[in-house]
Amino acid sequence: MTARVYTIASGKGGTGKTTATLNLGTALAQLGKKTLILDADIGMANLGLLLGLEKCKITLHEVLSGSAKINEAIYDGPAGLKVVPSGLSLKGFQNANPEKLREVMSSLIEGMDFVLIDAPAGISKDGVIPLAVADKVILVVNPELASMADALKTKALTEMLGRSVEGVILNRAELEKTEISRNKVSELLGSKVLEMIPEDANVRRSAAFKVPIVIRAPKSPAAIAYFRLAALIAGEKFQDNGLKEDREGFVDRLARSLFGGK
């Protein structure tokens, strides 16, 4: 199987794009898929921070500057996930040549089922390459008109580059009348909504502990949504067995506390 390369993009910063890349990638790895995630936001890198990899000496910066090979910048993440972080230094950013990303992609996809690229937000020279090297682009948006408007520009740029948008992740969705509905998002962007990730306090807590929510709080609403999305991307049926087992376990524990027994 040839690796499928998805670039996770957004029209504006702050949509939760990096968190989506990390948790979707980890969920795919938990499905047994050989998955690699790469932080192509070389100017405002955050992916490594979410995994405690901020002190790595060799990152994508060094690879794109020609001072290191791509295999030296690949680190082990949770559940067998492979991670290529970008550095945090301004000097590393200045030395990096985004065009070199095209050259290293052949090495990155070797032996992988999925490669997820965390792209820079907005429309910039640095952001064009991640869109151009993808098989498909997934847009991350918030239920706000400004987020939709900026995502439309990213979609237009994607299509100008000869690529297509696979769909949309509607992030931080809430069931309020003021929110833009799933159907409205699909209508505005002309793309299907792959999944709605609900507002969930566990997301921030997991980030503080530098552990993906799909591992730290696997039964939380946001984690379940990421598992469902991963199953969709992988072409597999979503299994809800873990949740059923948890509910049964709760009933068993309650019965023991009320009536005694083992």
pLDDT tens, position by position, 43-102: 888 899 999 998 899 999 999 999 999 999 999 999 999 999 998 776 666 788 888 998
Of the chain, the percentage scoring pLDDT greater than 70 comes to 87
Label residue 241 by pLDDT band (50, 70, 90).
Answer: low
Question: Is residue 251 predicted with pLDDT exceeding 50?
Answer: no
> What is the secondary structure of 115-153 as a DSSP string?
EEEEPPSSS-HHHHHHHHT-SEEEEEE-SSHHHHHHHHH
- Of the two residues 94 and 5, the one the predictor is more confident about is 5
Does 200 have pLDDT greater than 90?
yes
- pLDDT of amino acid 244: 42
At 4 the pLDDT is 96
Contact partners, residue 45, CB within 8 Å, separation at least 6: 39, 59, 85, 86, 87, 88
Walk across the sheet containing 165-173 and list its strands: 75-76, 82-84, 35-39, 114-118, 4-9, 136-141, 165-173, 193-198
Inform me whether the pLDDT recorded for 250 exceeds 50.
Answer: no
Q: What is the pLDDT of residue 91?
A: 64
Whole-number Å distance between alpha carbons of 103 and 138: 22
Mean pLDDT of 171-188: 75
Say what the pLDDT of residue 214 is.
Answer: 97
Q: What digits encode the pLDDT tens for the residues 98-147?
A: 889 988 888 899 999 999 999 998 777 778 999 999 999 999 999 888 99
Domains of the chain are: 4-259 (3.40.50.300)
- pTM over cut 0.85: yes
- The pLDDT assigned to 243 comes to 46
How many angstroms separate the CA atoms of 152 and 187, rounded?
11
Contact (CB, 8 A) for 108 and 70 = yes
